Amino acid sequence: MKRPYPSIKEVAARAGVSFQTASKFLNGGQVRVSAGTAQRISSAASELGYSPNGIARSLVQRASSTIGIVAGDLTDLALSGFVVGAERAARLVGHAVLVGTLAGNGADGSEVVNMLIERRVAGIIAAAPQLEDDMAVAELLRRHVSTVSLHHIPGGGVPTVGSNHREVGKLATEHLLAQGHRYVGTVTGPFHRLVVRSRLRGYEEALRGASLDPVDEMVVEGDWTPSGAASATQLLLERHPEVTAIFVHSDVMAIGVYSAVATTGRRIPDDVAVVSCDDVSFAPYMTPPLSSVHIPFAETGARAVEVLVKRMGGEDVSAEASLLPVELMVRASCGGAPRFVQPAVRGSSKVTEELP
């Protein structure tokens, strides 16, 4: 049966050189050969259709061309956008990508990182929020391999690439306030996540900037799922039926927000305006089209690769965060305030007044 790929031994035999000479020459090792020998090896490889083995090349050069990515749940559209962007950028500069995922709550980050280290990856990109408080993984990354992270790594020393999520929350909330809304609730992701706390700070800063005090009961925790967001929205509107606008922490959760608002007999945006964040591919196709803060996930993946390659090359890359800009994509879900709105009052007062 014919071999699907020619071997290095077949190339060596056709070129009339030893296996070791052909291997080192084709895989970038240190070997001195005459111009004629080099031409014979190259011609033999071309005639046979030989492609260098990436693993063999790494062994010869004693350096890997593979970048590892530690990823969370790849069903997350935002995270998968980041990974796709990173893989494309890595491929353009000659690096393969090996992905290890932390699927499920019981995933062991140390196990995945050790797997990548054992495979001699040249560097690692951490794209897993599960690692935000994992000191064991942080020590592994600092001690063994060049690393760039999409999320906070405890103890510092690892450059981060991402966006300013405080600005995300502030931008979304300020837009709703500018439309005349004064009772703006928010459906968040899990409170333990740093990105959630950053977005909440931005939400609160925007309210205070409009002379409004944040109300704790207008902040309801979701779980990144449509069903969790629907439950959170129902609770928010039961507590504060006067709410006329909602800032939701992800487009996926916005699906649940839309459903919950509809079950109360309200309409978006006539009765409740909605602004979300992520701006994933389906946002413009929701009914009504969803306003969302665009976060450049693919571009962030590419930037992470750029920073990591510099670190792998020995460049002194600052451990400070590299932040990519965000932009509010205004669509039909965040129209102006409805006919009945609340005046600019402080605290949890529920006084309403009818517009003329």
The residue among 22, 39, 61 that closes a domain is 61
Check if the beta carbon of residue 127 is closer than 8 Å to that of residue 300: no
Burial class (CB in 10 A: 0-12, 13-18, 19+), 282: middle
- HSE-up of residue 228 (Cα within 13 Å, Cβ side): 16
Which residues on neighbouring strands pair with residue 291, listed in sequence order? Answer: 275
Give the span between the Cα atoms of 15 and 23, in whole angstroms: 12
Question: To which residue do tokens 């196709």 refer?
Answer: 285
**Of the residues 42, 61, 80, which one is the last residue of a structural domain?**
61
Mean pLDDT, rounded, for 243-251: 97
* Same domain (yes/no): 127, 199: no
Whether residue 216 sits in one domain with residue 343: yes
User: Strands across the sheet with 123-127, in order?
Assistant: 96-101, 66-71, 123-127, 146-149
Within a 10 A sphere around the Cβ of 39, how many other Cβ atoms? 12
pLDDT score of 347 = 33
Q: What residues have CB less than 8 Å from 259, skipping those under 6 apart?
A: 226, 230
CATH assignment at residue 17: 1.10.260.40
Angle in degrees, CA 94, 97, 100, rounded to 5: 170
Shared domain for 270 and 228, answered yes or no, is: yes
CA 185 – CA 198 distance, rounded (Å): 16
Cα distance between residue 41 and residue 22, in whole Å: 7
Token pair of 138 as six digits: 């942080």
Q: Which of 22-26, 35-39, 96-100, 142-146 has the highest mean pLDDT?
A: 96-100
For residue 34, is it within any domain?
Answer: yes
Residue 343: the pLDDT is 36
- Determine the residue type at 246: I
Which residues make beta-bridge pairs with 125?
69, 148
Q: Is the pLDDT of residue 210 over 90?
A: yes
Closest to 326 measured CA to CA, from 201, 184, 137, 163: 163
Number of domains forming the structure of the chain: 3
Residues 227 and 348 in one domain: yes
d(CA 37, CA 8): 15
Q: What average pLDDT does the chain have?
A: 84
Identify whether residues 137 and 175 lie together within a single domain: no
**Can you read off the two tokens belonging to residue 305?**
């690769």
pLDDT digits (tens, 9 = 90+) for 57-66: 554 444 457 8
Whether 2 is in a domain gets the answer no
342 located within any domain: yes
144: exposed, middle or buried (C-beta count within 10 Å: 0-12, 13-18, 19+)? Answer: middle
Give the start-end residues of each E strand in 213-341: 219-221, 245-248, 273-278, 291-294, 322-324, 327-329, 340-341
- Is-contact 74 80, C-beta < 8 A? yes
Query: Is the pTM above the cut of 0.75?
Result: yes
Asked whether residue 3 is assigned to any structural domain, the reply reads no
Residue range 317-350, pLDDT digits in tens: 776 668 999 999 999 999 755 543 333 333 332 3
For 123, list phi and psi in degrees, rounded to 5: -170, 165
Band of residue 234 on the pLDDT scale cut at 50, 70, 90: very high
DSSP helix/strand/coil, 241: coil
**pLDDT tops 50 at residue 235:** yes
Q: What pLDDT does residue 106 have?
A: 56
On whether residue 1 sits in a domain, the answer given is no
Kind plus residue range of the DSSP H or E element containing 146: strand 146-149
Same domain, 187 and 201: yes
Model confidence pLDDT, tens digit, residues 124-156: 999 988 888 889 889 888 888 889 999 888 888
- Say which amino acid occupies 237: L
Of 191 and 346, the one with more pLDDT: 191
* CATH value at residue 256: 3.40.50.2300
Predicted local confidence at residue 51, as pLDDT: 66
Q: Is 276 in the same domain as 224? A: yes
Q: What are the contacts of 107-110 at 24+ separation with CB within 8 A?
A: 109/70, 109/134, 109/136, 109/137, 110/134, 110/136, 110/137, 110/140
Q: Are residues 137 and 198 in the same domain?
A: no
92 shares a domain with 115: yes
Q: Which of 11-15, 188-192, 246-250, 295-299 has the lowest mean pLDDT?
A: 11-15
pLDDT of residue 183: 96
> Length of the chain, please?
356
Same domain, 152 and 189: no
Cα separation, 112 vs 132, whole angstroms? 15
Does 162 or 32 have the greater pLDDT score?
Answer: 162
Asked if 194 and 243 sit in the same domain, the reply is: yes
Q: What domain range is 214 assigned to?
A: 165-290+331-354
- Position 351 scores a pLDDT of 25
Give the SS3 label for residue 292.
Answer: strand
Q: Taking 50 as the threshold, does the pLDDT of residue 108 lie above it? A: yes
Structural domain includes residue 22? yes
214 domain residue, yes or no: yes
Alpha-carbon dihedral sign for residues 195, 200, 203, 206: negative
Distance CA 338, CA 186 (A): 18
Q: Who has greater pLDDT, 161 or 321?
A: 161
My answer on whether 213 and 338 are in the same domain is yes
